[in-house]
Structure 1
Amino acid sequence: MKRGTQLRRSVAVSAVLAVLLFALPLAVIVPYQEELFSGDVPVDETEREPFRPGELDASVTLRVLNGNTVEEMTLGDYLVGVVRAEMPASFELEALKAQAVAARTYTAYKILSGGNHGDTADICTDSTCCQAYISQERAMENWGDAADENETKVEEAVRGTDGQTILYGGVPILAVFHSSSAGQTRAAGEVWVNDLPYLQPVDSPEDDDTIPNYYSRVSFTPEVFREKIYASYPEADLTGDMSGWLKNAKTDASGSVETVDVGGVTIKGTTMRTLLGLRSACFTWEVQDGELVFFVTGFGHGVGMSQYGANRMAREGADYVEILTHYYTGVSVEAWSGLASFTNEAES
């Protein structure tokens, strides 16, 4: 009798173990059976929806030289990458819209004027040649916790200005821009060779207290200064007292140096900026402790739209059209579909 009872207990235990052996895996699998056995790939709920440009921007396909690779993308996708790279996403939305329109216009101008890349590409991502560009992945890594908010603003700036272009006489302009001016922008002819009617000096509201490095200071020992000048102007006479090396500075209304005599050689202020690595051509200088010290205001060439000025205008209530028609003289801002037909003809 005792032996039979033990046998029944053993059978019962075995039955329970068998149930657990088969039931536990099912308990784990059943809640996820759709994901495990379905042919569909699970969706990452955190992944952003792809950017969808407006109708006009989507109708233009660009060949973009990115490094050594030519990539095809819509004008809208390209512009989002440009705005990410060219203007802080923390700026006001209307300033970002102004940047998007300027970038679209600059792109159209480059393509219509023949560009720099022949039949290879329409535009590139090198800021020294065309415009800066940054991918969504890299930008969002840089933005950190503000990534989603910033990307949404940039995409809205491009989509919300679909096809909008800055025109002078019905033609896209050379819509150059810079970071910050010295309170007034400069005429194109003061910086480059040719003047343009829509790139004329205008007042620019700059928040000098909030602009990073709005005022900068750079110093050079006599040896370093000579090296930098002699590399391009070996005929300059940089002997004698250092206080007499720079003379007769001619400045424009913004305070930027148009020309200055350096060791008896007349040099453009923009050239001096390049030779010395200054943030702008709005500079003064003095001798301090045996060195030449330059005091610089603003950042960039000073022509066209000031980005920090645009942001202040936006903060004070101006929309992107008001910003653009302020910085570019005598222009209109309107939807322009000419680039689509031009790029389609080029591809056929």
Structure 2
Amino acid sequence: MSASPKRKSGWAIIFIAIFFISPVKAIAAKEPTMRVLISKDNKARFRADGVKNIFVEGISSNHRRIKSLNLVYKNNKVKYSIDNNLNTWFDLPNNFSLIIRNNDKRGIWFKNRRYAGELKVSLNEKKLNIINYLKLEKYLKSVVGSEMPKEFPLAALQAQAIAARTYALKLLNKNKSFDLRSTQASQVYLGLESETAKINRAVKSTNSLALFHKDKLINAVFHSSSGGRTENSGKVWKYQLPYLKSVVDFDHNGTKYRWTNKFTSGELDQIFPGLGGLNSIQIIQKSDTDRVLKIRLYGTNGNKNISGKSLREKLQLLSTKFDLYLEFNQINLDNKLNSDIKIAEDFSLQSLPPIPSDYFLLVQGYGAGHGVGMSQWGAKAMAEKGSGFRKILKHYYTGVQIKAY
């Protein structure tokens, strides 16, 4: 029997509804839960926001609905107190596992920040490990606001959201205990305070989009500012990846595009005690993008070659893109160089003369971060000139596809 026109119409409506609704459900169903390590310490305090309770699994059933929880690890024992009663403490076994949650959209307070999702606490390497479990898209709303200024154009924030999503997915389930740290060691994650309406829009408008190279998730690293040109990954890390190639950057208006640091002879002696102090220094190798790869240090106790990355860490420099100068140690009250001080020639690729006590080492540098992948200030400049997030990402990540994961 043939169907009537009315019945055909009904089936068509049902088919259309399934066609359009199902993909949304599929995306929601596959959204992963991220495990973010937010603290390793010997004490911790959690509390509710306002009048609502927090719920704690893993302690006495009489203590599960409380306003606050204090934990201390001392003398190989973990103890807890509840509701600010610091005169009464209860023991936890060393193999304990706590789960802290609430049903308040304002989250759970920990270390002066509020966190969504669940907080799980366990003892690992004699430290209280606090791991935040939350959905990927919720995590990203904090990461984008923690990593990039909220005032940046929407397209730059969208590019950051996709890069951060890709970076997180790449690390998912790679570690037994957690996926990411909350610091620059992974991606900066500062809890609910970092969310704004504009950042939430950037994340939501790019939902499920990630970066791929030959159908595999890329290592979507990013940095603040490259100083005019990004770096090849092989010059910073072990491998040269095809999508992390050096490209022109547009970060000239960045707040850290150009910077200087000064070090007195006495400060350098303290930083390099193994050498008996630093008598002189020499840049012996740079990359094609002018980043320092190798340095030779001259000390009373001998000479030593170290990487530009190591010198950056020791001197706490913003990047490895720098030059060295020797200047006479006279400083105005406003902490700027006197106009009559003469800058010696650039001693890059040759040895500085001995650094006497009345001189200082001047480091003039460019950019901030490792310089590989997307430049955040460059993304801002491209967005301000009208580029969308796709153009920004394809500029900084060579030969990538942008598609749903």
Q: Same fold (TM over 0.5)?
A: yes
Matched residue type, 1:135: G
Q: Is the aligned partner of 1:127 residue 2:184?
A: yes
Alignment RMSD: 2.1
* 1:186 to partner: Cα distance: 0.5
> Structure 1 residue 307 and structure 2 residue 362: aligned?
no
Q: Report runs of 4+ in structure 1 exceeding 6 Å deviation.
A: none
Question: Quick one: structure 1 residues 247 and 123, their matched pair in 2 at CA, closer, same or farther if it must change by over 3 Å?
Answer: closer
CA contact (8 A) 2:209 2:403 kept: yes
Compare CA radii of gyration and give the structure with the larger one: 1
Q: Is this contact kept in 2: 1:325–1:331, CA < 8 A?
A: yes
State the AA in 2 paired with 1:105: T
Deviations 1:4-61 (A, max 9, x none): xxxxxxxxxxxxxxxxxxxxxxxxxxxxxxxxxxxxxxxxxxxxxxxxx997367222
Relative to structure 1, the CA distance from residue 71 to residue 206 in structure 2 (aligned partners, 3 Å threshold; closer, same or farther) is: closer
1:56 corresponds to which of 14, 17, 27: 27
Given candidates 298, 323, 326, the residue that maps to 2:395 is 326
Query: 2:320 is matched with which residue?
Result: 281
Residue identity matched to 1:325: K
Residue type of the alignment partner of 1:280 = S
1:198–1:329 CA contact under 8 A, matched in 2 = yes
Structure 1 match to 2:295 = 260
Letter in 1 for 2:194: A
2:335 aligns with none
Q: Distance between the aligned counterparts of 1:217 and 1:225, measured in 2? A: 16
**Equivalent residue, structure 2, for 1:194:** 239
**Partner amino acid, structure 2, of 1:82:** V
SS in 1 for 2:243: coil
What code does the residue aligned with 1:56 have?
Answer: I
Give the letter aligned to residue 322 of structure 1: K
Instruction: Return closer, same or farther for 1:294/1:288 CA change in 2, 3 Å cut-off.
Output: same
For structure 1, which segment, 325-334 or 304-313, has the greater mean C-alpha deviation from structure 2 after superposition?
325-334
| TM-superposition CA deviations, 1:133-152 (whole Å, max 9, x none) | 1222x337xxxxxxxxxx11
Q: Give the SS at the match of 2:272.
A: helix
CA contact (8 A) 1:221 1:292 kept: yes
Given that residues 57 and 163 in structure 1 are in contact (C-alpha distance below 8 angstroms), is that contact kept between their aligned partners in structure 2?
A: no
Alpha carbons 1:184, 1:253 under 8 Å: kept: no
Q: Which stretch of structure 1 is more off in the superposition, 69-78 or 152-161? A: 69-78
Greater strand share, structure number = 2
Give the aligned residue type for 1:247: Q
DSSP 3-state at the match of 1:267: strand
Q: How far is 1:246 from its partner?
A: 1.9
What CA distance in whole angstroms lies between the structure 2 residues aligned with 1:236 and 1:258? 24
TM-score (norm 2): 0.60
Aligned to 1:139: 194
CA distance in 1, matches of 2:397, 2:25: 25
Indicate conservation of the 8 Å contact 1:57/1:76, yes or no: no
Higher RCO (CA-CA < 8 Å; seq separation 6+): 1
Task: Determine if contact 2:230/2:246 at 8 Å carries over to the other structure.
Answer: yes
For 1:273 and 1:161, how far apart are their aligned partners in 2? Answer: 35
More helix by share: 1
Per the TM alignment, residue 325 of structure 1 is displaced from its structure 2 partner at its CA by: 1.0
Tell me which of 91, 99, 102 is aligned to 2:163: 102
Q: Deviations over 1:178-231 (max 9, x none)?
A: 0001110001111122222211111111133xx22432111111122133234x
> Per the alignment, in what secondary structure is the counterpart of residue 212 of structure 1?
coil
Question: Which segments of 5 or more consecutive residues in structure 2 lack a partner in the other structure?
Answer: 1-23, 40-128, 329-358
- Matches of 2:372 and 2:202, distance apart in 1: 23
Amino acid at match of 2:134: M
Contact 1:236-1:265 within 8 A present in 2 as well: no
Cα contact 2:35–2:131 (8 A) shared by 1: yes
